[in-house]
Amino acid sequence: MTRTYLDYASTAPLRPESRAAMAEWLRKEEPLRGDPSRSHFEGFAARTALEDSRDRIAAALSVRPRQVLFCSGATEAIATASFGAANRRAGRAHSVVNAVEHTAVTRWADRGESTTVPVDETGRVNVDDVAEAIRADTAVVHLQWTNHEVGTTQPVPELAELCAESESLLHVDAAQAGTQVAGAVASGADLTSISGHKLGGPSSGLLILRKGLRLPPLLVGGDQERARRGGMEDVLAAVGLAAAVEATCNSAVEEAERSRHLCDRLISWADQRHGVSMVGNSENRAPNIVCLTLEDVEPQPVLMGLDSAGIAAHSGSACSSEIGEPSAILQAMGMDAHHSLRLSVGWNSTDSDVSRALDVLDRLLDELSSLRKKP
């Protein structure tokens, strides 16, 4: 069965550029034995590949190489930003988060003193509410670039100015930035966390630091990554990630336009289908994520039906996970947290993918509706 993948917001298929770069690296025997910190041929070869990857990422994101910190993933990048900001200056450990941040952010904030700012019914934060939450001891303000469940984008540039005035750091979770990743880095944030696998690279991550900013390290040990992260670097992941970042930035305009077109088709279908509606902000939204509410329909049979038909999607509710709880994101927005469906597209999605998904959804919803009507 041919599969249709519409769950890019969870993870993206590996880009051919990333696959080719890592395959080429794996064909080289000597560098694979090398520790980038060692002064021998194998070590120099590994160091060269690592720093070349850093240079390429920096060029694609328009930053300096020393601003690029390799991490195991966006979760570690977020943890590094959170820990470093809270321990950077004595007496400034308070943090500000909004109610729809990813748990990788909120659980770090919960470890210390924090203020949670509400969002409106579209999932967007109000700049004035954040300004009111910032205190003299606020170390960091956390703000998503794009919400991972509903696709709403946040007013990052405005809050960057606000944080600069208050001398609080701004950390932007850009795990879902996708084709907008370069824009997220250029938004004025002090710290930007990036997910490699969501860009079509390997399971890895980046933390981009503002020029001149120094943070105490989360992982201590050796002096790798300019003493900012202990532990031997994953050179293979860096090679694959550099290729994915370059490919994403080089094709950003075309990919964003195609993704927006595909998601507009999904939204148009929802507008015409009884019992289905879009959740999120209609103007300030990512081009590749659509969250739908399904009136009186549980997401699990819809997900199972889609999967049986060869279509991968995700419920915005955590009911489909091991947690068995409704979506905290939708609850914070005051929306139905029990009956949602998230569809997300990416670098190799096509019109036929969307057409197939809509045909199956029409059939599934008709079948489930007829079952409800039976006595």
Considering the domain architecture, whether residues 355 and 295 belong to the same structural domain is answered as yes
Looking at residue 338, its pLDDT comes to: 87
Considering the domain architecture, whether residues 214 and 275 belong to the same structural domain is answered as no
Looking at residue 30, its pLDDT comes to: 60
Both structure tokens of 249: 């930035």
Residues in the chain: 375
CA dist list (Å): 76 to 33, 69, 161, 222, 266: 26, 11, 26, 17, 33
Establish if 239 belongs to a structural domain: no
Considering the domain architecture, whether residues 215 and 125 belong to the same structural domain is answered as yes
319 is catalytic: yes
What helix, strand, coil percent values describe the chain, rounded to 5? 45, 15, 40
Considering the domain architecture, whether residues 214 and 77 belong to the same structural domain is answered as yes
Question: Cα separation of 298 and 340, whole Å?
Answer: 8
Question: Cα separation of 154 and 166, whole Å?
Answer: 19
Question: Cα separation of 34 and 371, whole Å?
Answer: 62
Q: Where are the beta strands (DSSP E) in the chain?
A: 4-5, 68-71, 94-98, 114-117, 138-144, 169-173, 191-195, 205-209, 276-279, 289-294, 311-312, 340-344
Can you list the residues of the chain whose pLDDT is less than 70?
A: 29-32, 316-325, 372-375
Looking at residue 34, its pLDDT comes to: 86
Establish if 118 belongs to a structural domain: yes
What's this model's pTM, rounded to 2 decimal places? Answer: 0.94
Considering the domain architecture, whether residues 262 and 202 belong to the same structural domain is answered as no
- Picking from 173, 200, 230, the residue at the C-terminal end of a domain is 230
Confirm if 237 and 203 have CB atoms less than 8 A apart. Answer: yes
Considering the domain architecture, whether residues 273 and 175 belong to the same structural domain is answered as no
Establish if 246 belongs to a structural domain: no
Domain count, the chain: 2
Establish if 205 belongs to a structural domain: yes
Considering the domain architecture, whether residues 85 and 119 belong to the same structural domain is answered as yes
- Picking from 230, 260, 281, the residue at the C-terminal end of a domain is 230
Considering the domain architecture, whether residues 226 and 327 belong to the same structural domain is answered as no
In this structure, is the dihedral angle defined by the CA atoms of residues 222, 224, 70 and 88, taken in order, positive or negative?
A: positive
Terminal-residue alpha carbon distance, the chain: 36
Looking at residue 42, its pLDDT comes to: 87
Give the residue among 366, 111, 368 at the shortest CA–CA distance from 218.
111
Considering the domain architecture, whether residues 153 and 203 belong to the same structural domain is answered as yes
- Picking from 230, 265, 284, the residue at the C-terminal end of a domain is 230
Establish if 37 belongs to a structural domain: no
Establish if 31 belongs to a structural domain: no
Considering the domain architecture, whether residues 276 and 214 belong to the same structural domain is answered as no
Question: Cα separation of 18 and 41, whole Å?
Answer: 25
Question: Cα separation of 200 and 132, whole Å?
Answer: 38
Establish if 24 belongs to a structural domain: no
The model's pLDDT over 333-356, given as tens digits with 9 standing for 90+, comes to 998 888 899 999 999 999 999 999
Q: Which CATH number do you get for residue 69?
A: 3.40.640.10
Looking at residue 296, its pLDDT comes to: 83
Looking at residue 320, its pLDDT comes to: 41
Q: Which CATH number do you get for residue 306?
A: 3.90.1150.10
Residues spanned by the domain of 304 = 4-11+252-373
71, 249, 263, 319: the active-site residue = 319
Looking at residue 91, its pLDDT comes to: 86
Question: Cα separation of 12 and 201, whole Å?
Answer: 8
Confirm if 122 and 133 have CB atoms less than 8 A apart. Answer: no
Considering the domain architecture, whether residues 179 and 69 belong to the same structural domain is answered as yes
Considering the domain architecture, whether residues 196 and 294 belong to the same structural domain is answered as no
Looking at residue 2, its pLDDT comes to: 87
Establish if 46 belongs to a structural domain: no
Residues contacting residue 355 through CB under 8 Å, at least 6 positions apart: none
